[in-house]
């Protein structure tokens, strides 16, 4: 059997080792050191924001953001439904309740119409959410102008979950820099990786200082170990931050590779009746972290799961689009606002969607293998 063609795997650029070696040579292995400081400063400069705090995961960054916003027991937080569960888990960590917001067709991200209705209801009940978590799915920015206008009108802070969209832009501004806080993930499958890790970004430097304090077990300034508030073990190690610095040097190259992969899929699959790829909103630039498509069941004679199985039989990895969080058993009973009265976009995308191999190390020959299997099964 040929080498497995993967969805998205780590892709080292070659420069990471010098930063790792520096950490070992100086014996800065713990979550402190020049790599942590350098990674924070370099990423903040790249995305055009005042500061950043390197942490152990994107999930930890969301948890810290909600903590800084004072989210606690009895509060509600609005959150995109079509996303990985890590976007919403920190809401529960805080003791709050998630309210899920549907997608819309132009970006597959949070629907402004659904968000508006959710705010209208919460305002009429006299209990606005403490925050709104807006996710940029598969690298595509949400409709930030419309969403931010709604949130600003109600004076509710936004946490922009850009875990999948580092390197993307919306109207010339980097993804992750629109809300009060932005977060990125450096998990092994992301466009750049630190093995495991994340970043919290903001223009509020005092808030980031407090986030670092909380992330380092909230140790007070004292000769002895003293703690006045509960903290967390959320800081990123100096070794992993070194990997991140090397990865950041090749981020633009990775974005170009991911976009080239998407364009090759688009060139062929756009000619197949019943197949449509994830759109790119006008005036946005997606990093195309994952190339995703949807199948029209009235025009295509194969289901997404059968097509995924057919690819797997050829040692090719593909996966369904995220299952919406409002359908997850763990969130049963949570409120959900659909895009339209008779149109639940996230559910349709889940039923019809497939994420295709988008590995930046994938050769053109390997991608052609994927395309050949797709065409064979789509046109049968």
Sign of torsion over alpha carbons 70, 137, 55, 328 = positive
Identify the DSSP state of 48: T
Cβ-Cβ contacts under 8 Å for 343 (sequence gap 6 or more): none
Q: Which of 197, 228, 250 delimits the end of a domain?
A: 250
In a domain, 99, yes or no: yes
User: Tell me, what's the pLDDT at 30?
Assistant: 86
Residues 158, 112 contacting (CB under 8 angstroms): no
Query: Residue 1 pLDDT more than 70?
Result: no
Q: How many domains does the chain have?
A: 2
Residues 289 and 240 in one domain: no
Residue 117 lies in a domain: yes
Regarding whether 261 and 171 lie in a shared domain, the answer is: no
Decide if 158 contacts 147 (C-beta within 8 A): yes
Residues 55, 198 within the same domain: yes
CATH number at 276 reads 3.90.1150.10
**336 Cβ contact list (under 8 Å, min separation 6):** 81, 99, 100, 101, 102, 326
* Residue 2, domain member (yes or no): no
Say if residue 273 is in the same domain as residue 237. no
Which residues, 6 or more positions from 14, have their beta carbon under 8 angstroms from its beta carbon? Answer: 246
The model's pTM is: 0.97
103, 349 contact by CB (below 8 A): yes
Residues 271 and 232 in one domain: no
Q: Which residues contact 297 (CB under 8 A, 6 or more apart)?
A: 303, 352
Residues 94 and 193 in one domain: yes
Range of the domain at 22: 16-250
Same domain for 241 and 273, yes or no, is no
- Does 321 share its domain with 211? no
Tens digit of pLDDT for each residue in 311-335? 999 999 999 999 999 999 999 999 9
Residues 169-221 pLDDT 10s = 999 999 999 999 999 999 999 999 999 999 999 999 999 999 999 999 999 99
- Average pLDDT across the chain, whole number: 97
Active site residue 190: yes
- Asked whether residue 209 falls in the same domain as residue 74, the answer is yes
pLDDT grade for 379, boundaries at 50, 70 and 90: confident
**Residue at 289 is within a domain:** yes
Q: Looking at the structure, do residues 236 and 264 belong to the same domain, yes or no?
A: no
pLDDT tens string 61-113 = 999 999 999 999 999 999 999 999 999 999 999 999 999 999 999 999 999 99
What's CA 214's distance to the chain center, in Å? 23
End-of-domain residue from the set 196, 227, 250: 250
Catalytic residue among 190, 209, 271, 335: 190
The answer to whether residue 89 sits within a structural domain is yes
The answer to whether residue 293 sits within a structural domain is: yes
Q: Do residues 288 and 209 share a domain? A: no
Residues 317 and 238 in one domain: no
Domain-located, residue 294: yes
User: Which of 188, 215, 250 is the last residue in one of the domains?
Assistant: 250
Q: How confident is the model at residue 356 (pLDDT cuts 50, 70, 90)?
A: very high
Q: Which of 216, 237, 230 is nearest to 93 (CA)?
A: 230
Residue 7 lies in a domain: no
Rounded Cα distance, 74 and 244, in Å: 37
């Amino acid at each position: 059997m040929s080498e497995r063609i993967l969805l998205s795997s780590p892709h080292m650029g070659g420069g990471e080792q010098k930063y790792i070696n520096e950490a070992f040579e100086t014996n800065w292995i713990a979550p402190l050191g020049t790599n942590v400081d350098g990674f924070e400063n370099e990423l903040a400069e790249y995305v055009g924001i005042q500061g950043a705090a390197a942490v152990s995961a994107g999930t930890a960054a969301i948890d810290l953001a909600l903590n800084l916003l004072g989210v606690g027991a009895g509060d509600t937080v609005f959150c995109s439904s079509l996303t990985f569960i890590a976007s919403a888990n920190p809401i529960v960590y805080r003791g709050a309740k998630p309210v899920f917001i549907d997608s819309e067709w132009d970006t597959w991200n949070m629907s402004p119409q659904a968000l508006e209705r959710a705010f209208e209801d919460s305002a009429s009940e006299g209990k606005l959410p403490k925050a709104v978590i807006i996710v940029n799915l598969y690298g595509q920015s949400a409709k930030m102008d419309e969403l931010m206008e709604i949130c600003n009108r109600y004076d509710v802070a936004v946490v922009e979950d850009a875990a999948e969209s580092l390197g993307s832009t919306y109207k010339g501004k980097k993804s992750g820099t629109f809300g009060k806080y932005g977060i990125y993930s450096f998990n092994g499958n992301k466009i750049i990786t630190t093995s495991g890790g994340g970043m919290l970004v903001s223009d509020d430097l005092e808030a980031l200082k407090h986030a670092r304090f909380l992330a380092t077990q909230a140790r007070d300034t004292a000769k002895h170990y003293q703690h006045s508030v509960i903290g967390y073990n959320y800081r990123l190690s100096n070794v992993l931050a070194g990997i991140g610095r090397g990865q950041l040097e090749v981020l633009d190259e990775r974005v170009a590779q991911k976009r080239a992969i998407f364009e090759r899929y688009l060139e062929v699959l756009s000619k197949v009746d019943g197949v449509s790829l994830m759109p790119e909103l006008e005036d946005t630039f997606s990093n195309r972290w994952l190339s995703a498509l949807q199948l029209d069941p009235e025009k295509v004679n194969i289901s997404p799961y059968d097509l995924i199985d057919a690819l797997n039989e050829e040692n090719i990895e593909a996966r369904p689009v995220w299952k919406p969080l409002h359908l997850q058993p763990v969130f049963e009973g949570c409120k959900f606002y659909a895009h339209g009265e008779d149109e639940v976009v996230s559910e349709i995308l889940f039923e019809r969607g497939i994420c295709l191999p988008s590995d930046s190390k994938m050769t053109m020959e390997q991608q052609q293998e994927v395309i050949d299997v797709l065409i064979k099964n789509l046109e049968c």
